[in-house]
Amino acid sequence: MSTPILLAHGALGVWDEVIFLSIAAIFFIMMGIAWVKSRNTTPDLGERELHTNGGKEPESANRFPME
């Protein structure tokens, strides 16, 4: 009796399923690790912090007033 093909089908038979499921498991493990690491870090705001000039960003030479 042959095993039913559920997710992948190709020349490898049952091994297609094993390869497909192992790649999916590796993906979910990597995403889980990235999610846990991102939950434990504080964001680096850098230049986006509020300044003392009323909460506005400092004037820059690269910015022009809108008319």
pTM of the prediction? 0.52
More confident residue, 48 or 30: 30
Can you give the residue ranges of every domain in the chain?
Answer: 1-39
Contact 57, 51 (CB under 8 A): yes
More confident residue, 28 or 52: 28
pLDDT given for residue 47 in this prediction = 60
User: Per-residue pLDDT for 55 more than 60?
Assistant: no
List pLDDT tens digits, range 2-43.
666 666 677 777 788 888 899 999 999 999 999 999 998 887
**Cα–Cα distance for residue pair 3/15, rounded to 1 Å:** 11
